[in-house]
Amino acid sequence: MRPINVVTRYSLKCLVCLMCFLMCSACSDSSTAPQVRVPAFQDNSNCVCTTISPRGGAVRNVSNVGELREAVQQANRQGNMTVLLEDGTYILDQMLWISGDQVTFRSRSGNRDAVILRGQGMSGSVSHIFNVVGNNFTAADMTLGWVANHGIQIHCDSDAPLIHNVHFVDTGEQMLKMSYRPGDSTSSDDGLVEWCVFEYSAGIGPQYYIGGIDAHQAHNWIVRHNVFRHIRSPGGDLAEHAIHFWSDSGNTLVEKNIITNCDRGIGFGLGDHGHIGGIIRNNMVHTARDVGIGLENARQTVVYHNSVFTENYANSIEYRFSRTQNVSIVNNLTNAAIMSRNGGGGQIERNVTNAQASWFADPGNGDLHLVTADPTVIDQGLPLGDVTQDIDCDPRPRGNGYDIGADEL
Ligand SMILES: [Ca+2]
Ligand SMILES: [Ca+2]
Ligand SMILES: [Ca+2]
């Protein structure tokens, strides 16, 4: 289970070729026992939210909705443009449709709380803030939401978006959506979502058809260092996961996120709409009604070093359905079971599933840092060469070995 290579976000296209090669190799090599193929995401993200570098192109400053709309029109005509928003609240009366390539929206101050883009509320007439069909879209350092559908929608084949330090609030459906069209095989590839907060201000969502990140047919996305709060359905049906990649999505990296008080945590696949490859590691997940990490028809996925605190449900991690094969679930710390359902198969090793609330700093708010050095947890993990940090970017291993779960003491 050594990493195959050193790969960064900027060489993900090489990774696609590599994964292609590996998948083909795995399929054609029927003479040996199946092995989990670990994708080559290096474990080197930085636990400091740094300002993104200028994206290039023309720069236009805006300070009101009229100027913002004019800037969008210019950006869609010419592409390659940065729109800097002055501090203030921008109340939209319709969504912003982004068709230009290489278009960036960010606050000039860099203060996420000081630039607010909002619609007319979750039952209002504004469907989105950003509805994106261009490539290389960037949104950074702002707050957005109070819309009927999605805060940001990325359409299929809109590649390499960057969503950085954005606070999503109160959307009528999923907060960040990567959509696909049935019969259209194009995909949104190489996206990065980092240092964002996704939450419902009332502590609960407006209906069940909500979620944090909902991605269909998306490939090579990275979701890291984000916080998800209160993504919960008010009724009997469950909300979608805080982070959900499905409908033939693949090679997703989900790491160092904190999820708290959500119905479901992290999902790869759902029912027949599966997922291939990918890594879920070093996350802290607290769910209030259902599974913390769910693999459904997800194959060749690794789930390493997560801490999961599950309330009102029997399983912290599930691997489910017959096409869930060759998954590896190792060194996770949970308070409920790790369970195969409906024929899911995998390598399940060195997990601790009887964690007590008292072991964690503040489990009801998703802080699953260890406050107790339980001897079944400390230094008891299986050595994994491709996990070199914990959720805090503390180096692993420390002491005499790898600590189970997301936190190395
Ligand atoms: Ca694409
Ligand atoms: Ca240790
Ligand atoms: Ca730590």
- Identify whether the C-beta of residue 141 lies closer than 8 Å to the C-beta of residue 115: yes
State the distance from the centre of ligand 1 to the C-alpha of 215, rounded, in angstroms: 13
| Average pLDDT, integer, range 312-317 | 98
> Which ligand has its closest atom nearest to the C-alpha of 185?
1
Q: What is the pLDDT of residues 65-102, one digit of tens each?
A: 999 999 999 999 999 999 999 999 999 999 999 999 99
Cα-to-centroid distance, 137 and ligand 1 (Å): 13
CA distance 406 to 390: 6
Q: Is 231 exposed, middle or buried (0-12, 13-18, 19+ CB in 10 A)?
A: buried
Ligand nearest to the CA of 154: 1
311 has a pLDDT exceeding 90: yes
Residue type, 271: G
CA 224 to ligand 2 center in whole angstroms? 23
Q: If residue 320 lies in a helix (H) or strand (E), which one and from where to where?
A: strand 315-320
Please report the pLDDT score of residue 11 as a whole number: 38
Q: How far is the CA of 264 from the centre of ligand 1 (A)?
A: 28
What's the confidence (pLDDT) of residue 352?
98
Q: What is the pLDDT of residues 194-229, one digit of tens each?
A: 999 999 999 999 999 999 999 999 999 999 999 999
Domain residue spans of the chain: 67-370
Give the number of residues written for the chain.
409
- Count CB atoms within 10 A of the CB of residue 401: 15
**What is the Cα–Cα distance from 336 to 315, expressed in whole angstroms?**
5
pLDDT at position 385: 81
Average pLDDT estimate for 284-310:
98
The ligand minimizing its distance to the Cα of 403 is 2
From the CA of 291, how far away is ligand 3's center (Å)? 24
Under DSSP, the state recorded for 180 is -
175: CB partners within 8 A, 6+ apart: 145, 150, 151, 152, 168, 198, 210, 211, 212, 213
Q: Could you tell me the distance, in angstroms and rounded to a whole number, from the CA of residue 395 to the centre of ligand 3?
A: 8
Distance 14 CA to ligand 1 centre (A): 14
From ligand 1's centre to the CA of 138, what distance in Å? 16
**pLDDT band of 56, cuts 50, 70, 90:** confident
Residue 45 pLDDT? 87
Q: Please tell me the number of the ligand nearest to residue 187's CA.
A: 1
Ligand nearest to the backbone CA of 369: 3
Average the pLDDT over 130-151 and give the result.
98
Ligand 3 centroid, distance to 300 Cα (angstroms): 28
Are 174 and 210 contacting, i.e. CB atoms less than 8 angstroms apart?
Answer: yes
**What is the mean pLDDT of the segment spanning 328-338?**
98
Average pLDDT over residues 270-281: 97
Nearest alpha-carbon partner for 320 in 271, 358, 371: 271
Strand (E) positions, 78-161?
81-85, 88-91, 96-98, 103-107, 115-118, 128-132, 138-147, 150-154
Ligand 3 center–CA 182 separation, angstroms: 43
List the strands of the sheet with 243-246, edge to edge. Answer: 96-98, 128-132, 150-154, 176-178, 213-216, 243-246, 266-268, 293-296, 315-320, 337-341
Distance (Å, whole) CA 333 – CA 50: 30
Token pair in block for residue 167: 């606070």
What is the dihedral angle through the alpha carbons of 259, 144, 273, 180, rounded to the nearest 10 degrees?
A: -160
Q: Which ligand is nearest to the CA of 394?
A: 3
Q: Tell me the average pLDDT of the chain.
A: 91
Q: At residue 271, does pLDDT exceed 60?
A: yes
For residue 85, give the nearest of 66, 103, 60 by alpha carbon: 60
CA of 101 relative to ligand 1 center, distance in Å: 13
* Separation CA 245–CA 250 (nearest Å): 8
Range from 26-30, 330-334, 353-357 carrying the lowest mean pLDDT? 26-30
**pLDDT 10s digits, 16-34:** 333 333 333 332 233 333 3
Cα 224 to averaged position of ligand 3 atoms, centre (Å): 16
Residue 394 CA to ligand 3 centre (angstroms): 5
Judge: domain 67-370, CATH 3.90.1150.10: no
Sign of CA dihedral 293, 299, 301, 303: positive
**Side-chain half-sphere exposure of 158, counting CA atoms within 13 A:** 31
pLDDT of residue 40: 57
Which two tokens mark 341? Answer: 């359902």
What is the 186 CA–ligand 1 centroid distance (Å)?
Answer: 6
- Integer CA distances (angstroms), 344 to 65, 274, 308, 325, in order: 51, 12, 20, 6
> What percentage of the chain has pLDDT greater than the value 90?
87
Compute φ and ψ for 55, nearest 5 degrees. Answer: -90, -5
Give the residue-averaged pLDDT of 370-389: 94
**Which pLDDT value is given to residue 152?**
99
Q: Is the pLDDT reported for residue 402 higher than 50?
A: yes
The mean pLDDT value for 279-307 works out to: 98
Question: What's the gap in Å between 379 CA and the centre of ligand 2?
Answer: 4
Whole-number pLDDT of residue 55: 85
Ligand number, closest to the Cα atom of 408:
3
Ligand number nearest to the C-alpha of 380: 2
Q: Which residues surround ligand 2, an ion (CB under 5 A)?
A: 379, 398-399, 403
- Taking residues 234-243, what's their average pLDDT? 97
- Ligand closest to Cα of 178 equals 1
CA of 398 to the centre of ligand 2 (A): 4
- With a cut of 80, say whether residue 372 has pLDDT above it: yes
pTM: 0.90
Residue 114 and residue 107 in contact, taking contact as beta carbons nearer than 8 Å? yes
Q: What confidence score (pLDDT) does residue 394 get?
A: 96
Rounded distance from Cα 156 to ligand 1 centre (Å):
7
